[in-house]
Chain A
Amino acid sequence: MKKSLAVLLSSVLVFGLTACGSDSKESAGTPEAGGQEQTTTLRIYAQYSDEDTKGYYDYAAAELAKEMPNVKLELEVQAQDDGQKLKSYAATGNLPDIFNAGQDQINLFRKSNNILQLDDYAEKMKFKDNMQPSAMNTLYADDEHIYAFPYAGNEFVLIYYNKELFEQNGVAIPTTKAELLTAIEAFQAKGITPMSIFAKEKWITTALYDIFATRYDPRGIKGLDSGETKPSDEAYGKAAQDVIDLVAAGLLPKGATNLNYDQAAALFHEGKAAMFVNGQWEIEASTKALGDKAGYLYYPAPDQAMYEQNKLAFSGGGSPGGFAVSANTKHKDLAAEVASFMALKYAEFKYTQKGSPIVATKVDMEPAKAFDPMMVTLSEDIPNITSTTAFAWGLSNAKFKAAIEDASQSLLMDGYSAQQFVSDLESALK
């Protein structure tokens, strides 16, 4: 009796342990005609938080299911948390097989041997051949190696404007700071918000500052990040003063630092704000809301000469990032192949479904709908763009990134001076 009880308990224990340990990523396979095929489950960490980001993932995952039916993806939704969840995964040795990584994570994980170098895979899979020549900067990290397969391309910060509001109120499209101040005054007199911005997010305040910094020095915040320029350079103090002056004149809505995207975009989309700052990915939403009334303008400069000189020096740009592979995955080859496939499909979705030709890789397909007129204009501008800078998330110096995000948001507050701005950046770069 005792013996049979022991056998029974042992069986239960073994069964239990087997069940508990069933997170093995290789399952027993799906019966196929003519034999069994191994199904491999890969954990993937990707954006999947709203209709926009879900579309990318669903499209790429569906394509993967057709192309590689032996691969099953286990999605982990990417948190909007400055990468802290991913860093925690890395610290505990639990990184997903494939993860969406930006410059910050690449730099950190590279040092700690958490990210797989993909040079050989990119070579083998001819990923380089798929790249747009103008987007090679999104493929190579600072050390000239590949750590992620990009899809986003070089993106830009645009100042959108409502053509109808400008026309109806007799306001000229501003090319200089003085003209922008005139426009602010004219719109305020009519009860229209001159420019809407979701300044609760600090990256967009950095972009706003960068817009004005590029008028003096096309390298903008990227120059500071790379160490080519210093905060004490005249350009940076002057740009800070421009933002302060314009905000004091009433450029932004009241409580701008507490507006989220939905609130700020609604002001522009509903015709209550004349201008709006966002990346070029806003083109689709603005066109949907305003149709032909929406356009983008070239950034106003301190004077006409500087306006002409830096007209096509854009804020924004690209940085290394995309789908990366964990150095500790059990399925390095397969994960690299899937990461590359997902990146290509993300770009394909953006090009064909989202109406954006701004992608890192070539897409050999026709778009599902014609590009929006603003996108066509931007596409015509792109070959003539003289320089780009960086988005806040593309900055390589994390300390500087945090400092400029805080300091550029401070520029929107009363009592914060350009000198203080410069001094705060200098402290961060020490």
Chain B
Amino acid sequence: MNKFLGNKTAILLFISPALLLFTVLVFWPILQVFYRSLFEWDGLTEGTFIFLDNYKRMFEDSLFYTSLYNGLIFALILTVLQISIGTVLALTISDGLIKGRKLLRISFFIPVVLSITVVCQLWLAIYNGEYGLINKIFEALGLSYRQDWLSNSKTAIFAIAMVNAWQYMGYHFALLLAAARSIPEQYMEAAKIDGAERWTAHWKITIPLMAETYKFCLVLAITGGLNAFANMYIMTGGGPGTSTYTLTYMMYRSAFRVGEFGYGSASAAFLVIECLIVTFAINRLVARERIVY
């Protein structure tokens, strides 16, 4: 085995198909995005090389700051809701203290497998200013808090982020449940013998031991938030006005609505850099030492 692992030619031979696929499908397009961001290009004709002018223009564009801000808001909401509620759900199920665990486990995961269009249509009805469920609940409770959730520039981005957080919460739940279940039981038993309460034991033992999974969940939630597109495309079309634009939506607008593929590539390139920085920071700051049970 050691002899085989020392054979660099064999290793290269075996990894080359995957490496080739990754290069062609992921790495090369990313390089193209960076390259094309240096051009004034309509996507069809030969572009004009303008070096960093697209970036200069982007940093002077108010839409860029709106998009950046919205992406960060989206990422924050996803991170907080998906990971915190996902943790509570996972630990509740893993403790085995409630009945119907199998049914709950499936129920929590159902939204993940639903089409994003179906989910958005469902929430469009829930958020409706006239007959939507949320406003009806407020009405039933006697609270005068009716809102045009998606038509108000101040609430729309939060409302959309909630939909995404709700849909993919089950995914984080499944990851965290798997992590919680993989922790050897003797740790919890030892904690119980020492007199720790259930939640104290989780706080001191389970959650720290799930750090590797949290790292993965954090990367998924934050980059998912920064990349958000489909929800706003279906629910608000980036509106009202430009209030629910994210960098991905800005890229779509520049490339496909305006036909400025170079400028669109610049916002895409910025997004790639932003996601790489976040991923790098999480990898540096969270679970720096690999956890071994």
Question: Residues on A close to B: CB < 8 A?
Answer: 81-84, 87, 90-91, 104, 108-109, 111-112, 114, 200-202, 253-258, 398-399, 401-402, 406-407, 409-410, 412-416, 427
Q: How far is the CB of A234 from chain B (nearest CB, A)?
A: 23
Question: In the bound complex, do residue A406 and residue B150 qualify as a contact, i.e. CB atoms below 8 Å apart?
Answer: no
B223-257, CB < 8 A from A:
235-243, 253, 256-257
**Interface class of chain B by DSSP:** loop
Which residues of chain B from 102 to 129 have any CB-CB distance to chain A below 8 Å in the complex? 124, 127-129
Contacts of B129 in A (CB 8 A): 254-255, 258
Contact status of A82 and B256, CB under 8 A, knowing A90-B44, A409-B241: yes
Contact with A along B57-93 (1 / 0, CB 8 A): 0000110000000000000000000000000000000
Instruction: Decide if A399 touches B241 in the complex (CB within 8 Å).
Output: no
**Which residues of the partner chain B approach A90 to less than 8 Å between Cβ atoms?**
44
Quick one: which of A91, A111, A402, A413 contacts B257, CB cutoff 8 A? A402
A397 closest partner in B (C-beta): B258
Report Cα–Cα, A201/B239, bound state, in Å.
Answer: 10
Interface status of B42 (Cβ within 8 A of chain A): yes
B151 partner residues in chain A, CB cutoff 8 A: 254-258, 412-413
Residues of chain B lying within 8 A (CB to CB) of residue A91: 43-44
Contact in complex: A413, B153 (CB < 8 Å): yes
CA distance A131 to B69 in the complex (A): 51
B43 and A87: CB pair below 8 A?
Answer: yes
In whole angstroms, how far apart are the Cα atoms of A416 and B242 in the complex?
Answer: 11
Query: Chain B residues with Cβ under 8 A from A201's Cβ?
Result: 237
- What is the bound-complex CA distance between A257 and B235, given in angstroms? 11
Cβ-closest chain A residue relative to B42: A108
B260 and A399 contacting across the interface, CB-CB below 8 Å: yes
Give which listed residue, A114, A258, A401, contacts B236 with CB less than 8 A.
A258
28 A-B pairs within 8 Å (CB atoms) are namely: A81-B256, A82-B257, A83-B256, A87-B43, A109-B44, A111-B44, A112-B42, A112-B45, A114-B44, A200-B237, A200-B239, A201-B237, A254-B151, A255-B150, A257-B236, A257-B239, A406-B238, A406-B242, A410-B153, A410-B241, A410-B243, A412-B151, A412-B240, A413-B241, A413-B243, A414-B152, A414-B153, A416-B153
Q: Which residue in A108, A112, A416 is a CB contact (below 8 Å) of B241?
A: A416
- Check if B130 is an interface residue, CB within 8 A of chain A: yes
* A249 shortest CB reach to chain B, Å: 17
Q: How far is the CA of A122 from the CA of B150 in the complex (A)?
A: 48
CB of B256 within 8 A of CB of A413, answer no
